[in-house]
Amino acid sequence: MTRAFGRVLGVGWSQANPNVITRTPPPVADDFQGPPLMHFLDSLACAPIGVCYPDAEMPKMDDRASLRRLYPDPASTTGRIHGSVYFSDANGNPTHPMQGVNVVARRIDSGQPSRKYVAAAVSGFAFRGNAGNPVNGYLDADGRPYDFFGSDDPALEGAFDLGGLDIPHDSSSATYQLSVESVDANWAEGVGPYAPYQVEPSGSFRPVMVTIQPGGDVVQDILMRGGAVAGTIPAAAARTRLLLLCLRAEDGAGGFPGTAMPTGSSFRSR
């Protein structure tokens, strides 16, 4: 009931500490304190939910941060980290925004990234997800465009927002570790712009530390390295590649972690 009420308030599904369900890596005590109330799915063994999560009906830091973004308080003493996730070219420069990457902020507690004080946001969460394609069409079974939900504002493509992050009451700042991960296709199917077909991030990102102050607003972009890079190939080859990606999506294998591929362009692995 509490999670249903969260949806009524406008809070979306989220993913943090999925290892409490997947058991990879094996969870420790603090792992069970971190998963948001608004996680997407539970194991059948978690009935009642209190069997798996302590204080299961209490909003965790991720939930509180989401509510603060939806209903901001001018007197808030929290902080914000936001930015965009990007592909990079062969020289390490940012190119196209990358959708569907789970950006995770863990507060540094006793010198280590906390498993308890954690919040997450999926890149491109406010941008349209599946826009359709020539193979599968552009309308769903109800005749609505696939991109009915979400904005077409280019500034939101690949963007993430981790506003409302906690700062301890006895401190003038807090340091968070930013890292990235894929959205779990089994246990977080409904999370982010690509739901229900999740994708794997292209490339990797070394975690960084970001310090925030009460009321602070820090921009921290994320540049994925060693992934796919843009390259021009003949239009016919691009269409073939697009067809293969669409067929993979139809088979449930997921698509490419970016937006629809333009004619005359493709991506090659380096």
Whether 270 has a pLDDT exceeding 50, the answer reads: no
- pLDDT tens profile 110-131: 999 999 999 999 999 999 877 7
pTM over 0.85, yes/no:
no
The residue among 241 and 75 whose pLDDT is bigger is 75
Would you place residue 256 in the very low, low, confident or very high pLDDT band (cuts 50, 70, 90)? very low
Cis, peptide link before residue 25, omega less than 30° from 0: yes
Model confidence over 26-66: pLDDT tens digits? 999 999 999 999 999 998 888 888 888 888 889 999 999 99
Average pLDDT of the residues in 84-97 = 95
pLDDT of residue 260 exceeding 50: no
Contacts 24+ apart (CB under 8 A), 1-7: 2/37, 2/57, 3/37, 3/38, 6/37, 6/38, 6/63, 7/38
Segment 136-155, tens digit of pLDDT: 888 888 888 878 788 989 99
Query: Which helix (DSSP H) or strand (DSSP E) does residue 248 occupy?
Result: helix 235-250
Q: Which residue has the tokens 């540094």?
A: 108
- Phi and psi (nearest 5°) for 29? -55, -45
pLDDT at 5: 87
Q: What H or E segment, with its residue span, contains residue 6?
A: helix 2-8
Tokens of 222: 């994320």
> DSSP character for 127?
B
In the chain the beta strands, taken as DSSP E runs, fall at 79-88, 94-97, 102-109, 112-122, 159-165, 174-181, 208-212, 217-219, 222-223, 228-232, 265-269
Q: What is the pLDDT of residue 228?
A: 84
pLDDT(268) > 80: no
DSSP 8-state class, residue 88 = E
Match 């991506």 to its residue by tokens: 267
Mean pLDDT of 73-81: 93
pLDDT at 269: 36
Does the pLDDT value for residue 71 go beyond 80?
yes
